[in-house]
Amino acid sequence: MDSLDTQVLDAARNWAAAGHRFALITVARTWGSAPRPPGAWMILRDDGQVQGSVSGGCIEDDLIRRAAAGEFTGKAPRLLRYGVTADEAHRFGLPCGGTLELVLEPAPDAGLLEQLAQRIGTGQLVHRRVMLATGAVSLEGGSAGDSQQWDGQTLVTLHGPAWRLLIIGAGQISRYLATMAQALGYRVYICDPRSEYADGWDVPGTERIAAMPDDAVTELGLDPRSAVVALTHDPKLDDLALLEALKSPAFYVGALGSKANNSKRRERLLQYFDLSQAEVDRLHGPVGLPIGSRTPPEIAISILAEMTAVKNGQNFKSTAAIADPYACQVA
């Protein structure tokens, strides 16, 4: 569940508390190019106010028009299709012949939405099941690796901190990275055994792990929705995390440093530790995409850009070192 959809859930709870009626619209399936992925949310209030999105804007406009015309009454969920024909795709601005299936709930259960928010708030992964035939909606426990399901009659969406990021090091780059990652829907953990850094960590929404980096990696139990980024500049700490992370199913493992330092790091990992060539080849180092970044926020952007590319199946290695103004010269 990304941060935009979390905002939708928060708005829905506020609207319900204020006595507003609203519809909940979920992207169930897409074909071709689509601006929003399956599972994306939008809510449409009785006075026409909108939070979230299901497309680039044209479909939202049509939904607002249809709601104002009284089409979305009652309580039973229904299926809406857009872009089925070339004329419709052009009319609604769907690129490259894109097609959308939306599930619209005219009056979602506010109590269940509140329960969903509470369970997400405790770090749970939750399935929300909507059955079009009966209108029944339920919440069920989810697990890492689950995904959305849609068979034309039952929609099961996944909510909660589905993606996790463990940052080793509590320096300036880490602060920007932790803040930006949360905006992308990551649950962020920070590990730094150095008290001079860790004691001043105060980034809201993050969780500190008081352990050595290798123990932190083990404690989290990394899965295919996890990422690890080592940013301490101290090989004694960074390498500890990498040793465990590179053997895990984490989708992304990266380390800050120059090309020369990362080359030496790879040599160490192969020569002195029980890692295979394939495991060492998983390391993204220098970490981040080569976008000419120099300041801490720019470096954080480059790291998240590469993480996003890998997460979305665009797995390519950086070809240039990311400048780090705070890097020490420890090999």
Contact 58, 69 (CB under 8 A): no
What does DSSP assign to residue 72?
Answer: S
The reply to whether CATH 3.40.50.300 applies to domain 163-311 is no
The residue ranges of every structural domain in the chain are: 3-159, 163-311
Give how far Cα 322 sits from Cα of 213, 257, 261, 306, Å.
Answer: 23, 7, 12, 12
User: Could you read off the pLDDT of 155-166 as tens digits, one per residue?
Assistant: 999 888 668 999
Indicate if the pLDDT at residue 230 is higher than 70.
Answer: yes
pTM score of the predicted model: 0.69
pLDDT digits 0-9 by tens, 158-209: 888 668 999 999 999 999 999 999 888 898 999 999 999 999 999 998 999 9
> Is a pLDDT exceeding 80 seen at residue 330?
no
